């Protein structure tokens, strides 16, 4: 019985850090091979270079860190 209690407490505590995480910032990325620019929170892949950011919205229009 005590083992189940300890496992439950550990499981709850391990999940508590997830609720403290804030939203990620957005950045403008440009393709190295052409003038295509997109807005993403993570690098879209090889051949993309970060050109502006951070932004608070997914359209990359509101500068700054998200709240």
**pTM for the predicted model, two decimal places:** 0.68
| pLDDT tens track for 40-67 | 999 999 999 999 999 999 999 999 998 8
| 20 pLDDT more than 90 | no
Q: How many domains does the chain have?
A: 1
Domain boundaries, position 35: 22-67
Residue 45, domain member (yes or no): yes
Domain assignment present for residue 14? The answer is: no
Domain annotation covers residue 5 = no
- Residue 33 — pLDDT band, cuts 50, 70, 90? very high
Using the predicted structure, report yes or no on whether residue 17 has a pLDDT greater than 70. no
Contact 56, 46 (CB under 8 A): no
How many other C-beta atoms lie within 10 A of the C-beta of residue 55? 20
In a domain, 12, yes or no: no
Run of H or E including 6:
helix 2-16
């Amino acid at each position: 019985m005590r083992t189940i209690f300890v496992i439950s407490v550990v499981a709850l505590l391990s999940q508590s850090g997830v609720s403290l995480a804030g939203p990620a910032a957005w950045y403008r990325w440009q393709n190295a091979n052409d003038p295509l620019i997109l807005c993403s929170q993570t690098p879209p892949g090889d051949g993309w270079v970060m050109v502006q950011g951070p932004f608070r919205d997914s359209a990359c229009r509101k500068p700054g860190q998200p709240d």
